[in-house]
Structure 1
Amino acid sequence: MMINDWFFWAALSACFAALTAIFAKIGITGVDSDFATLIRTLVITAVLAPFVWFAGKWSNPFTMPARSLLFIGLSAVATGASWICYFRALQLGEASKVAPVDKFSLVLVALFAFVFLGERLSAREWLGVALVAIGVLVLAIKR
């Protein structure tokens, strides 16, 4: 099996997402989760803006197509809503349970990509998605 470039970056994303859960769970102790989300966003902006600038990737956002701006904006709103919910869930629950349930987004992405983007998964890939969904249910259902 050859590892694709996308897989490398997706695996790194998963590692950083795991660290996000642990760091956030420790960090929100005694702090309002919404305020913590704001601080998180400010830190991300402070780190990412110079990175984009120094990497020579900065461009005038007003020259982007309106459709791109709209959907990037909608993505930002969805991200913000996700972060607010995630931090609230971390404040109320255990990181080892919250983070896997948050990853139910994988199941939803597969479904939304099928419906809205016309992406087609193989039977093996749908089986993997179904197993993730079952895993989330196992974690979520109380005994």
Structure 2
Amino acid sequence: MLGNMSWIFWAILSAVFAAGTAVLAKVGVEGVDSNLATAIRTSVILVFTWAIAIGLEKHQGLGSIGRKSWIFLVLSGVCTGLSWLCYFRALQMGEASRVAPVDKLSVVLVLIFAALFLGERLTWVKAAGGVLTAAGAIILALA
């Protein structure tokens, strides 16, 4: 049943958990090296996601993943790791309510990258949303 839910349902849940991540990580990273904190967080994610994949018997699909998918998934993982390292360092140095909005400038970059590299249309509505998102992030970061 959960698999049939709309993408917007999952995106909202993602936002809720991301908000929790920022608040919990800000408390957790206090007095801990940000790289070590990221390693701990990543280890939890590794165990948690593999438990889900194995529990749902999705791990059996490993052999059917093509070379291109492997390359891009690995590169995506590298980007995720670098993002988390930077995010935890920023959280250690700044307020969560200022760091998180700047991190969400990724939304604006995704709009641009999706248009440039994925051929997605950048409509005036998406562009306006991107400008508003950027403005909001800047306002919140400077507040």
Could you tell me the TM-score, scaled by structure 1's length?
A: 0.91
Aligned to 1:28: 29
1:41 is aligned to 42
1:72-101 Cα offsets, whole Å, 9 max, x none, are 000000000000000000000000000010
Deviation, structure 1 residue 138? 2.2
Taking the aligned partners of 1:91 and 1:141, their CA distance within structure 2 comes to: 17
Q: Equivalents in 2 of 1:80, 1:104: separation in Å?
A: 17
In structure 1, give the amino acid aligned to 2:131.
A
Give the match's secondary structure for 2:112: helix
Alpha-carbon distance between aligned partners in 1 of 2:24 and 2:11, rounded to the nearest angstrom: 20
1:90-127 C-alpha deviation (Å, 9 max, x unpaired) = 00000000001000000000000000001013322221
The equivalent residue for 1:129 is: 130
Distance of 1:72 and 1:46 partners within structure 2: 18
Question: Does 1:6 pair with 2:1?
Answer: no
After alignment, is 108-117 or 43-52 more displaced?
Answer: 43-52
Offset from partner CA, 1:24-47 (integer Å, 9 cap, x none) = 000011000000000001101111
Question: What is the number of residues matched between the two proteins?
Answer: 139
For 2:69, the equivalent position in structure 1 comes to 68
Task: Please give the alpha-carbon distance, in whole angstroms, between the structure 2 residues aligned to 1:53 and 1:128.
Answer: 39
Question: How far, CA to CA, are the matches of 2:117 and 2:60 in structure 1?
Answer: 29
2:127 is matched by which residue type in structure 1? W
Query: Are 1:56 and 2:57 an aligned pair?
Result: yes
Query: Percent identity of the aligned residues?
Result: 51
Q: Secondary structure at the match of 1:59?
A: helix
Deviation at 1:58, TM superposition (A): 1.0
Q: Per the alignment, in what secondary structure is the counterpart of residue 31 of structure 1?
A: coil
Q: Give every structure 1 segment of 4 or more consecutive aligned residues whose post-TM-superposition deviation is greater than 3 Å.
A: 139-142
In structure 1, runs of 5+ residues without a counterpart are none
Matched, 1:99 2:100: yes
Per-residue deviation, 1:56: 1.6
